[in-house]
Amino acid sequence: MGAKEKILQDIHTLMTEKFTNAEEAFTFFDKDQDGNLNRDEVKALLKEAGVGGLIRGLVAGEMIKGYDKSGDDSISREEFKVAIAELERDL
């Protein structure tokens, strides 16, 4: 299993063991309650999933680039749901 697959598996494990659905997870990590996950909030999610500190910032940036369709440098609630659905489909 490569690094990317390991990170995705760790996120999937977090989502299935700690939360009942993507909406619950989003609400938990959206600390400022603005309806978006900013870089720090994505890093908090990755930390909770067990992603090491050295690569957490890079992975957060790549996740935002990959799922931020609105171009606001964050992941909206709908973008997050899409990301989790893709994760579940691909694993």
Report whether pLDDT(1) > 70: no
The region that residue 71 occupies, defined by phi over 0 for left and psi between -120 and 50 for alpha, beta otherwise, is: left
Q: Which domain holds residue 54?
A: 3-90
- Global pTM value: 0.93
Average pLDDT on 4-28 reads 94
Q: What is the CATH number of the domain that holds 30?
A: 1.10.238.10
User: What is residue 42's predicted lDDT score, i.e. its pLDDT?
Assistant: 97
What domain count does the chain have?
1
Instruction: Tell me the two tokens of residue 20.
Output: 């009942």
Average pLDDT on 51-80 reads 95
